[in-house]
Amino acid sequence: MSRRKKTNSAGRAVIVVLCILLIVACAVLMFKDQKRDFRHGVYRCKDGRLMEEPAVPDQEIIDGVREGTELLAKAHPEIRQYMMLVPSAACIQSEYLPENTGKVRDQTQDLAQIQSVLQQNLEWVDLISLFNDHKGEKLFYATAPYLTGWGSRYAAKAAVGAMGAEFPKSRETCYLLSDTYQGNLASDRTLMQKYGEHPGERLEIYVPEDEPAYYRIDEASGVWYGTLYDSSSLDSEDPFNVFFGGDRPLTEIYSAAINGETLLVIGDRTANSIVPLFVSSFEKIILVHPSESTRSLMSLAEKYQPTKILYLYGANTFMKDRSLLRIASQ
């Protein structure tokens, strides 16, 4: 009887061990499968598009921006401040993520938390609700973490409306700049080796038919331009530099939309495709990239005396761009 009990116990132990080994094997296979569609913070989605992983917010950056906007609000209460953070594609169109992705960071919750910290000194422009209403449209590039021309149009219209300005009501013309655009996610050599080469996509801009005349001045070079676009960049390694020739330290834009409004935009690369759609709504626009500039927020406000300031970033960049600490602390 005792021997039979020992035999049964041994049998159950073997079954338990086999079950554990099976579970571990399944977990390893799932992990390997997940790694197959995730590399260097980038997901390869079901339809081949590439999406950045939502970034983890850096609390020091958020606190630094809060302090900077608070100091500005006290020194210049006449200047209205706004913030518009563009959510990532993975936040808005998560249904395209690989089936084996697992839990993805909730960027909606992160942005709500950032808003709660910063909204005392500025007005928040919400894009999540707007983009969710249009998530079936091509808002983001499949090969870059930026808004398409169509997505940029939605963002610009939302920002202009929130700032109490008027967005053009005329018809818009869509200009195709390239039909073989490959963004920085697709051109990354490591990702190309992992996922293969992407066939390319359309790079477009939308221009209102009654857009006013304008010119821009690149502060670094002192050169005046009659356009916001650099067509020579379309043949470069990064065609997205077609907007302003890339991230410039400071760009001044003067428009024939005479309304006394000066807009200071503090932004990243995401801002480059959105700002051109502001020229019909503001007489003067100052675009500053903190990653390329040493100017402080206070010095910019005192020199250009803007009526409004818009902090315009891709959410992923905002959460990790430590150059914001420099511009906000001086």
Q: What is the mean pLDDT of each run of 10 residues along the chain (330 residues)?
A: 54 51 39 53 86 95 95 96 98 91 92 96 97 96 96 98 94 94 78 66 94 95 95 93 96 95 97 97 97 93 97 97 83
Question: What local confidence, expressed as pLDDT, does residue 35 receive?
Answer: 45
Q: What is the DSSP string of 74-143?
A: HH-TTSEEEEEEEPPHHHH-GGGS-TT------HHHHHHHHHHHHTTTSEE---HHHHHHTTTS--B-SS
Same domain, 60 and 29: no
Distance (Å, rounded) from C-alpha 163 to C-alpha 309? 9
Is there a single domain that holds both residue 80 and residue 219? Answer: yes
Query: Does residue 193 lie within any of the structural domains?
Result: no
- Note whether residue 148 is domain-resident: yes
> Are 115 and 229 contained in the same domain?
yes
Please report whether residue 192 resides in a domain.
no
Is 120 part of any domain?
Answer: yes
Question: How much is the pLDDT for 330?
Answer: 63
Q: Based on the domain organization, do 60 and 95 belong to the same domain?
A: yes
For residue 9, the model assigns a pLDDT of: 59
Is the Cβ–Cβ distance between 182 and 200 less than 8 Å? yes
Residue at 262 is within a domain? yes
Q: Assess if residue 302 is contained within a domain.
A: yes
Asked whether 241 and 230 are in contact (CB, 8 A), the reply is yes
Count of structural domains, the chain: 2
DSSP string, 273-295: GTGGGGTTT-SEEEEE-TTT---
Exposed / middle / buried, residue 9 (Cβ in 10 Å: 0-12, 13-18, 19+): exposed
